[in-house]
Amino acid sequence: MNTRAVINKFPFDMEIPNEPYLDNFSQGITHPAFYTGPRWLKFQIQNDNGLIKELVVSGETKDEMESKIAYNDEGHSFHIIDAKQNPWEAAYLTHEYEHDPVPNYEENLGTTDADGNAEVWDYDWGHVLNQIYYNHELRYVNGEYIKPPFRLHQHTQEAFLKSLADHIEMAEREISRQGIYTQAEMTNLEEYARSLSTISTKYTGIRHWKIPFPALPLIKP
């Protein structure tokens, strides 16, 4: 949430996906927010693809904005946004907006931890627009704004499974080393390897970013 001085409070609704990392807004979840920066904004826009780039100058009135010197790079034009008319776009591009906290997304995974407690995946929406969309990807093409691509999870299922296999292999290698670990340390390694080996069956059908990973035990040189 923006902590700078509030200049304006132009309202807009943030669309919230059904759950994090999945490009599905079918539940129609929204959360109110306010753009809080200058009303008039002049950006550079890339001519060949409509990508809106850095903010060049701004002002509380259009005349104030236009009175400021602005330079354009080759292959770019100026694009002016009236934040009163387009508060979502202004908020996304400048990060100058505020809102009450969005309730965390919580999901009971239907599994239990080693102590028998229900495992719940909890997600904090944080600075919402930039949690949902990739940064610096808003475009203006043929007179219309094209929203930026949806932010997917940074790791794929394949990468997660490879990491899981790598950790199991590492744990088994350490267990095979003689005279390096104390009995307590060896027990931790064995429990770590056992926990990892059950993940693929215990969490069948659960998306990989929701799976709790056991804490890494001590690894000695």
Q: Render pLDDT for 17-28 as a digit per residue (tens, 0 to 9).
A: 999 999 999 999
Question: Residue 127 has what pLDDT?
Answer: 86
Question: Residue 2 has what pLDDT?
Answer: 46
Report the run of H or E that residue 141 belongs to, with start and end: strand 139-141
Tokens 């929203």 belong to: 147
Domain boundaries, the chain: 10-146, 157-210
pLDDT in tens, 16-68: 999 999 999 999 999 999 999 999 999 999 999 999 999 999 999 999 999 99
What does the alpha-carbon distance between residue 134 and residue 141 come to, in Å, rounded to a whole number?
Answer: 18
Question: Residue 158 has what pLDDT?
Answer: 94
Helix axes 157-176, 183-202, angle to 10 degrees: 150
DSSP state of 120: E
**CA distance to 21, 95, 108, 207, 211, per residue, from 105 (Å):** 11, 22, 10, 15, 15
**How many percent of the chain have pLDDT more than 90?**
95
Sites in the chain below the pLDDT cut of 70? 1-4
